Structure 1
Amino acid sequence: MVFFKKIVLMSAVLALAGLTGCATKSDKAGYAENVVYHVNDSVVAGAAMNNIKNHLNANPQAKIVLVTHGKGIDFLLEGAMDDKGNPYNVRVQELKAKGVTFDVCNNTLVGRKIDPKTVLPEAVIVPSGVAEVAKLQSQKNFAYVKP
């Protein structure tokens, strides 16, 4: 019986120690975090930017890169508007001011014959959107989010 009580007591102590000692970086505001948001259709651009805004509210120190290719680049072109007629560039500028990077696939620009000069100045043209996503994940340990 004494042995059983010791085991129960020891288990309780270990459980409590685990509860108090298992705080992770994600439990604290403002932790280092790298995330790539992948957008290949501008239909989800508004949702992606909402996700990013919420993400930054939860963790202002997160490094976020939004990579676009295919039809996903459309919201990063001059004059692009959402379905309510609101220009995307305003939201892009707000997120850029918070440190978000916007990448546009050059392969898409070439394939769709889109003049690179029409890409918003807040965006960076990368050689390949898909390759950029892969590089961020495999070489730079970015978490992947696809809204």
Structure 2
Amino acid sequence: MKKLSISFSAIILILIFESFVYHIILKQSNLRSGIYNISDEQVGIKFELNSSGKFYFITPQPIVTTAHIKSIEVGMSPRVNYHTYPFISLVFDPAGATLIENAFAKYKYGRQTGLIIKNKLVSVIESSSTSSDGKIIRDGKLTIMSSTFTIEQLQEWKKEIESEKL
């Protein structure tokens, strides 16, 4: 009986050590700029969204990276309810647009992805915030618009993405 409890303890220690090493490796990972899936479970790399105190777990395999971005537009939206909002539009090549569409195809509402720039989670994209038909991308373009960002922040994002593409 004693052998069984030692074996069981050894297995537990191995599992704890493996989990610890896995999380250490993930915490030290640098992700390329791109769009990543957000895990529904606490699996992946833990990122804080823009120093907001909200944390998300990002799966380390990107949906798309900056390699798929053809161009980037930054500007102000037309008036919506008497307000204009800063926006950034990422225009993807056909392969990148297809990858994003496929990632969201199964989910009309509730799917979350994260925009990572320079190893920071800067925006969470939800399928419920897309058009009425659930499409997240139109004509190869993904637009993120929010009153939370300034036009200067979005211009900085654009520079960072473009510098990583080089």
TM range (shorter): 0.3 to 0.5
User: TM-score, normalising length from structure 1?
Assistant: 0.34
| Greater fraction of residues in strand | 2
Structure (1 or 2) with the greater helix fraction = 1
Larger Rg: 1
TM-score, L = length of structure 2: 0.31
